[in-house]
Amino acid sequence: MLSLASTLTLLCGVSTALIGSVRAQTDSTGTAAASKAQHSAPTPGLTYLYSLNCSLGAGIPVGTGPVGIRTVIPITGGVFSGPRLSSKILDLGADWSVVDGKGAFRADTRYQLRTDDGADIFVRTAGPAQADGRIHLTVRLETGSAAY
């Protein structure tokens, strides 16, 4: 099995929206009227979550399918660290990437983290490569741990 090193820095984005609440009021004639009270929300931003260095196995060509040419690259281990969580990447996951008919690459990864305190976190990322070679990923994290 071929072992490659890949480094990925992930940012977790937190976004909030302006929330309006509607409350019923009664005017002088006894008719209900609605008024909207606006609440200011914090400005959306990004918060650094962790950096990841993973080991990859040899790519497995799936072939050409309805969405393009798919290759599966096993994620065989590694480490991650950040201000709130760190530890290892389990030998449980892969990147099911695809290159479409126009030559555009799109990542589709699923893998498992185990934190220093024993929590298991499922990670799924997906996103397109850009003209400069960077890949813009959407990150979804899932865990049953109350600590996270």
88 occurs within a structural domain: yes
CATH assignment of the domain containing 66: 2.40.160.20
106 occurs within a structural domain: yes
With a cut of 50, say whether residue 145 has pLDDT above it.
Answer: yes
Q: Is-above-0.85 flag for pTM?
A: no
**C-alpha distances out from residue 76 to 51, 57, 62, 94, Å:** 17, 6, 19, 8
CA torsion, ordered 85, 88, 91, 96, to nearest 10 deg = 50
With a cut of 70, say whether residue 25 has pLDDT above it.
Answer: no
d(CA 48, CA 10): 7
Share of the chain above pLDDT 70, in %: 74
Give me the number of domains the chain comprises: 1
39-73: pLDDT as tens digits: 677 787 878 888 889 999 999 999 999 999 999 99
21 occurs within a structural domain: no
- In the predicted model, what is the mean pLDDT of the chain? 79
According to the model, what pLDDT value does residue 46 have? 79
> 89: domain range?
4-13+49-142
36 occurs within a structural domain: no
